[in-house]
Amino acid sequence: MLQKNSELTAPDRIILMNNEVYRLPQTHREIQVLSGIAWITLDQQDIILQSHEKASLPPSKNFAVISALNNMPLILAVWQDKHQAMRF
């Protein structure tokens, strides 16, 4: 579940096309699929999110890797924790 908006920055929007892969910065842990289907891998675990689904990724030393499924463009909104943003 997403945290209170006061603890998150404004969302970044990411668009991935077929065969593109995105490495989500470690500071971004809140994610929502706006359109398409996302395949997210973090710490050797896979998460599949469909359009309008949200997830909070656990803290990790690793980057999450995201790609689009089903040959459809993937549009994501991702949020960075304000506390993490101030550290970088």
Predicted confidence band of residue 81 (pLDDT cuts 50, 70, 90): confident
Pick the residue with more confidence: 70 or 10? 70
Q: CATH homologous superfamily for 5-87?
A: Jelly Rolls (2.60.120.10)
Question: Could you identify the residue written with the tokens 């970044």?
Answer: 12
Residues 16-65: tens digit of each pLDDT: 998 899 999 888 889 999 999 999 999 999 999 999 999 999 988 999 99
Mean per-residue pLDDT for 60-79?
94
pLDDT at 3 over 50: no
